[in-house]
Copies of this chain bind each other. A is one copy, B any other.
Amino acid sequence: MSNILFKKISFIGIGLIGSSLARVIRRDSLAQEVVAYARTEQTRSKVLELNLVDSSTDDISMAVEGADLVILCTPIGAYETVAKNISGSLKHGSIVSDVGSVKGSVIESIARYIPNGVHFVPCHPIAGTENSGPESGFDTLFNDRWTIVTPVEGTDPTAIERVANLWRSAGSKIEYMDPDHHDQVLAITSHVPHLIAYTIVGTATDLEERLKSEVIKFAASGFRDFTRIAASDPIMWRDIFLNNKEAVLEMLGRLTEDLGGLQRAIRNEDGERLESLFTRTREIRRSVIEVGQHIPPKPPKET
């Protein structure tokens, strides 16, 4: 029995997420042909060398020509240009999808370029590591993770199901969500935590030299985890904050208020308040463990 889900799949941009999915597609022969468009010669030769695709090109029209599925895997700031540039070459009946971490504003900037007769199925696999580039991907990245699908109203259910099936083949569970609600959930689970990690590590980089070198030396005391998060791709994250501004600022507002409360509790030596919060937060951890989302992804080798 053939495993083929799509005859030709095109990746527009192929970093950690795209290359991990490409690994799954190659491993299980889910497509007859896989093509990648990449801006840099380095990425184009890397994906060939890793045998992730049949061909790679810097000609974006050629990349999507005849493709049944086109997946945008660039930083989301590039989506509008990409959508404009592929618009005229998309095959009738084909599907355009993406893997971006923001959905609302991003869907707006893509949807207008999707011609009639082409389906648009926005997706967001909730998986990743702090590493970037096609060499960082691995085929188990999506195992037991969620992929959130945020289709716009009126989208052909068959197209949605075909894309969902591809993610299921990658080991992922599927959740359907309204784009704006997705952006709100991600603001608190992902965007604000990353912003905070960037801030703490940034504050540390501004310390005087001696203190800074000690912070690095004694990173095992908690700081380490923040440096890992704050090592994520700068362009990707810049684009996320610019495109999910409202939800991020709202959550950041709540967080700042709560932080102010804790600051006062410390100043007033209000041990009860501290203990009560620190006890409540343990429950959330238990819930995260219960739903099996506590184990970090394991790349084949620790880098």
Contacts and interface: CB of A to CB of B under 8 A. Distances in A.
A200 B145 contact: no
A225 interface: yes
Contact of A277 (B145, B202, B280): B202
A152 interface: no
Contacts of A214: 185, 189
A222 B193 contact: yes
Contacts of A49: none
Contact of A199 (B128, B226, B238, B258): B258
Nearest to A207: B188
A211 interface: yes
A278 B188 contact: no
Contact of A227 (B126, B217, B294): B294
Contact of A216 (B197, B239, B293): B293
B185 A215 contact: yes
Contacts of A127: 220
Contacts of A196: 196, 200, 259
Contacts of A255: 199-200, 203
Contacts of A216: 284, 287-288, 291, 293
Interface residues of A, number: 97
Given A200-B192, A269-B242, A294-B228, A146 B284 contact: no
B280 A202 contact: yes
Contacts of A282: 230-231, 234
Contact of A234 (B190, B197, B278): B278
B231 A285 contact: yes
B271 A230 contact: no
B231 A293 contact: no
B242 A266 contact: yes
A103 B204 CA distance: 21
A179 to B, nearest CB: 14
B220 A293 contact: yes
23 contacts: A126-B218, A126-B220, A126-B221, A145-B220, A189-B218, A190-B218, A190-B222, A193-B226, A196-B200, A202-B258, A206-B258, A216-B288, A217-B291, A220-B293, A222-B229, A225-B225, A227-B281, A227-B288, A235-B275, A238-B275, A252-B266, A256-B259, A256-B263
